[in-house]
Amino acid sequence: MRAPAVHRRRDLPDRVRIYEVGPRDGLQNEAAVVPTGTKVEFIERLVAAGLRTVEATSFVSPKWVPQLGDADSLFPMLPARADVRFPVLVPNLAGLERARAVGVDHIAVFAAATETFSRRNLNRSLDEAIEGFAAVVGEARKAGMWVRSYLSMCFGDPWEGEVDVSQVVDVALRLVGQGCNEICIADTIGVATPGHVHDLLDSLVGAGVATSDMAVHFHDTYGQALSNTLAALEAGVTTVDSSAGGLGGCPYAESATGNLATEDLVWLLSGLGIETGVDLEALVATSAWMGDQLGRPSPSRVVKALQERSAPERSEP
């Protein structure tokens, strides 16, 4: 398998933690329900490829996300690995209790940086949503759980337009104050550019949020996900979200297209000499397999390129 030439940059981190979201964010808005066994095999293949943080599912009501309605049965089927985290998304205290009942110890909550998206996605005002998360985060931390908070619409909102940096910082600080271990800065509709990424991350650091407590989550709507990832690495962030094969988007934001593909991210990081622990060949094979299960090819450029390169050459008749 072909690999990129390595050219190390001294101003970038030595290692990046990839937070794989394919099994949850990647599959959540698939029209056809994926069988539980297929989801488990997908996760097992991702772990075998070297991914050590794999967001497995969501304990949201099946009424809202039918695709993830099997969370209670899926989670106990995951491999017991001390070196692997399987975070799950929880929307409220009821979801938290369901997660605790099956042994979850890493959770994520989902906040928004804008009023409109909070009302459309969570059916609550921004203040009401943040207040609601306080109880979930507090109970989770008391139970010894690790807690991430997604912060969506950090760079732009389809209804409100560009989002002011200070607004994002204000909401992030409120979440940090509640006890979240990690804040994931999300470009939900993919409108960010590197300068905007630098400005926001620099402002968060200036407000007291350490880069070690941040993650980034970029969508590739305008083809900027890798550029924005590099900007985040330059700012000192070392946790990057991605989805195997580029699966997924946000079902509540119509202009949001696929997540950054994990294969594309690994290719970038490999070329920069940054360690990820991921076997690219195994990962490509996993995404190709998942594409077969879904009945369509992976949108990842790296998956396409490496599959085409490895295909047997055909002679002309």
Residues with a catalytic annotation lie at 250
- At residue 108, what is the residue type? A
Pull the structure tokens for residue 68.
Answer: 């993830």
DSSP alpha helix (H) spans, the chain:
36-48, 71-74, 93-101, 115-122, 126-142, 165-178, 194-206, 225-234, 262-271, 280-294, 301-310
- At residue 123, what is the residue type? N
Q: Decide: 114 and 163 in contact? Cβ < 8 Å.
A: yes
Pull the structure tokens for residue 244.
Answer: 């195997």
What is the C-alpha to C-alpha distance for residues 163 and 161, in angstroms, rounded to an integer? 6
What is the C-alpha to C-alpha distance for residues 43 and 36, in angstroms, rounded to an integer? 11
Q: Decide: 171 and 130 in contact? Cβ < 8 Å.
A: yes
Q: Coil, strand or helix: which one is 151? A: strand
